Structure 1
Amino acid sequence: MKHTQLFAIAGLTLCLTSIFFTGCSLSQPSDTHTPVTSPESLPKDTNTATLTSLTTLIGKSDTEMVALLGEGNASLLEDTTTVLGRDYLLDLFDTEILLSASLDEDGLIQAFTLLPSDNDLDTWNEQLTSLFGPAHSETSDDGSEGSGRKSFKWTIDNTSMTLKSVYETLSIEIYSL
């Protein structure tokens, strides 16, 4: 009897998940081979100016982001022109970074995720500390659950920047407080 109930619940969950994701599937722009582009108008003089430019875009429109960064590689809602996000290549501290912007349903920028091509947490922490001072908070676990998660958080105006390493994968997230 218990097995029958488990199979029924699993089947219902699978059906509901399929129905949900059918209506929410993503598509790439018509030319899926378009390379991720590098922003042309980001400040090239300093790393601080580049990161500060990104923090000021949080909560702004997709149009404002495109004016500053260019078109990038847009992720569209299937069969629509609704932009869910944009990807760019960026140079920060002489390292190539994949910059992904996430937009909300109103087309406003929710967050940026930066993925450095290297995973050197200590070096990135030193570089960000040299720009913004010591992190306002630091968290880590002992790795007993296998993640070895470490994070450092800075507050810049009304935004938060978090440098984190999970399973030795590094990311920098910029989002509104």
Structure 2
Amino acid sequence: MVSLILTAATTYDGYLIYDREITRDILTTEIVVPAGQAGKVYGVEWKAAISPMKPPASSKHGPEVAWLQVDITEKIVDAGSATMTALPSQVRLNDRAGRIWTVEIQRAGDEFLGDKLDVGQEYKIIGAAVVPVSVVNEVELSFKPSDYRSDTPTKDLFKRQQGADEQARDTALRFRRR
């Protein structure tokens, strides 16, 4: 009997994780940010720019691809969001045909070393991606700002959000280039 209960609990838990991950993109609200403008999610203002960059000396890619530098700026505009310190997820470049290229990101320098961001200060995130030369001028940046808060108690990290809060958590920004 105990074995049956444990199996059922494990199966249900696995289903909840599966359900959350599978429906994540379906329930995502996309905010389109006009070229040169800022997008605001969770009390944080985001700006982005894409520019060509020189490939690293160790690059083994040929002339059919181009390297792009991605510069993201985040600025806390609401003091209640100062503990939202995590980097965005699913940082991608998308073309008109629906193809996707991953952008590898990291914080620029060591300007942020704590568990709280300063309101009004801009924090830089830099990234790079490799795309075909044919789409260099059309790819657009998209990402999901994280709703993780550094002041969340460990016991609350895995609590499942319910209702409107759950849907509000899945928001993506798409930055237009023109």
TM-score (norm 1): 0.29
| Greater share of helix | 1
TM-score (norm 2): 0.29
